[in-house]
Amino acid sequence: MPSPIDKIYEEIFGYLPDKAGTAFERLASIASYLLNEGNVTHDDKLRGQFSKTLYQLDIHSKSGDGATMGEAKDYSLQGKKVGRGDLQKLGGALPDLKEIDAGAFFSATEYTGPAKKYAESAGEMFGKPIALWGLRPGTELDEEGFIKTVVIQMHIQMPQPEKAKWIPRLTKRGETALKVLVEPGSDRVEYKTVLSCFYDVSGNEILSLHELTSKGYGEPNSETGMSHGCFFLKDHYIDINGIMAEIHGLEYELPYENYTEELRITDDSGHRFVLLDKDGKVTRFLTDRKLREFAFNESGKLIKR
């Protein structure tokens, strides 16, 4: 009969392994990877150094922290705790496996007091520690104290170049060149021109207004809320009624439109499983989305999609 965890596994991955207990062992293999990364294999085998016994490992994990032998038990259907006897299989194998540096036990239910004491003494008994982990379906109580939504208030200042004041600052030579436009006896002459680009002395276009302003306008003044500055343009000219007038640069005064946007990042993927340390404290959530990132090849090796 499938356990509650078997049913959840089938909902997440769309299938249920034929062998009882395999679903939980694979979930524990994924949890082992999330703890230490490295290379993880489910249902591996190693031969003992002294006994020459061939040991079956529910989880074989290799990372920068060393190699770990993991056992996984799902007693959720029976509703019983993992006892000392469950850990003794793991404890008995550790001294015989030269390649293994530590043990890890993953349980879908709680541990008995004697089981916890056995694990705490493993380092002294075998010279190799045993870590106890809980791996079970999550509840709303597990999520208390964890942030599910991040809210970011974004204050945006958008430049309004179409509302800006643009003033070309002429050099003395530029002013002199334009004086020829003044008709005898006139004290004022008006010409309309489009300022979209700048030229060299021969009238060749060398810079567009778009290119000039593409890198921004500097920081706006905190009091006026406007950017005020000048683009210095040495050896640049503007075309006024066919006359190339030399300029120092282009002065500007630019207003901004201010508004606020709220950005929300919400984890609504469903915390299907939780990983607990030996004290029963939640250390990690395993969402459906995260679990689906993994698969196993024919040899049992964990593959991250």
Q: 105 and 191 share a domain? A: no
Kindly report, residue by residue over 151-193, the tens digit of the pLDDT: 888 888 899 988 999 999 999 999 999 988 887 777 777 878 8
Token digits of residue 52: 């020459």
Distance CA 78, CA 76 (A): 6
* Shared domain check, 274 and 251: no
Q: Are strands 130-137 and 102-107 parallel, antiparallel or unpaired?
A: parallel
Residues 108 and 32 grouped into a single domain: yes
Q: Which helix (H) or strand (E) holds 122?
A: helix 113-126
Q: Is the pLDDT of residue 268 over 70?
A: no
Q: Which pLDDT does position 1 carry in this prediction?
A: 84
Q: What's the whole-model pTM score?
A: 0.63
Residue 45 lies in a domain: yes
Unique residue bearing structure tokens 């079956």: 56
Residue 210 lies in a domain: yes
Q: For residues 18 and 62, is the Cβ–Cβ distance under 8 A?
A: no
Q: At residue 143, does pLDDT exceed 80? A: no
Per the domain annotation, does 147 fall within a domain? no
Please list, in sequence order, all residues whose beta carbon lies within 8 angstroms of the beta carbon of residue 59, skipping any fewer than 6 positions away: 25, 28, 29, 32, 40, 41, 42, 44, 68, 69, 70, 71, 72, 104, 106
Residues 212 and 253 in one domain: yes
At residue 188, the pLDDT reads: 76
Residue span of the structural domain in which 275 resides: 4-140+269-304
What's the mean pLDDT in 122-146?
87
Chain-wide mean pLDDT for the chain?
91
Residue 110 lies in a domain: yes
Residue 145: its pLDDT value, please?
59
Is 11 found in the same domain as 130?
yes
* pLDDT given for residue 152 in this prediction: 86
In a domain, 145, yes or no: no
Contacts of 243 (CB under 8 A, 6+ apart): 177, 178, 180, 181
Domain co-membership, 164 together with 247: yes
Q: Supply 137's token pair.
A: 């379906």
pLDDT of residue 155: 87
Is 191 a domain residue?
Answer: yes
Helix (H, G, I), strand (E, B), or coil: what is residue 57?
Answer: strand
Q: What is the pLDDT of residues 288-299, one digit of tens each?
A: 989 999 999 999
The band of 56, judged by pLDDT with boundaries at 50, 70 and 90, is very high
H-state helical runs in 172-257: 172-178, 209-213
pLDDT at 31: 97
Answer yes or no: is 107 within a domain: yes
What is the count of structural domains for the chain? 2
Mark whether 184 and 71 lie in a shared domain. Answer: no
Do 179 and 130 sit in the same domain of this protein? no
Question: Quick one: 283 and 255 in the same domain?
Answer: no
Per DSSP bridges, beta strands 243-254 and 197-199 are unpaired
Cβ atoms within 10 A of the Cβ of 301, count?
A: 15
What are the tens digits of pLDDT across the range 57-107? 999 999 998 999 999 999 999 999 999 999 999 999 999 999 999 999 999
44 and 134, same structural domain?
A: yes
The band of 54, judged by pLDDT with boundaries at 50, 70 and 90, is very high
Q: What is the pLDDT of residue 261?
A: 85
Please give the backbone phi and psi of residue 161, each rounded to the nearest 5 degrees, phi first. Answer: -60, -25
CA dist 199 and 245 (Å) reads 9
**pLDDT at residue 146, as a whole number:** 60
Same-domain check for residues 249 and 299: no
Q: How many helices (H) and strands (E) does the chain have?
A: 7, 16
Shortest CA distance to 296 belongs to which of 6, 49, 60?
A: 60
Query: CATH number of the domain that 50 lies in?
Result: 3.40.1350.10
For the cut 60, the answer to whether the pLDDT of residue 204 exceeds it is yes
Is 149 a domain residue?
no
Nearest to 177 by CA among 79, 128, 244, 236: 244
* pLDDT above 70 as % of the chain: 95
Let me know whether 43 and 135 are in one domain. yes
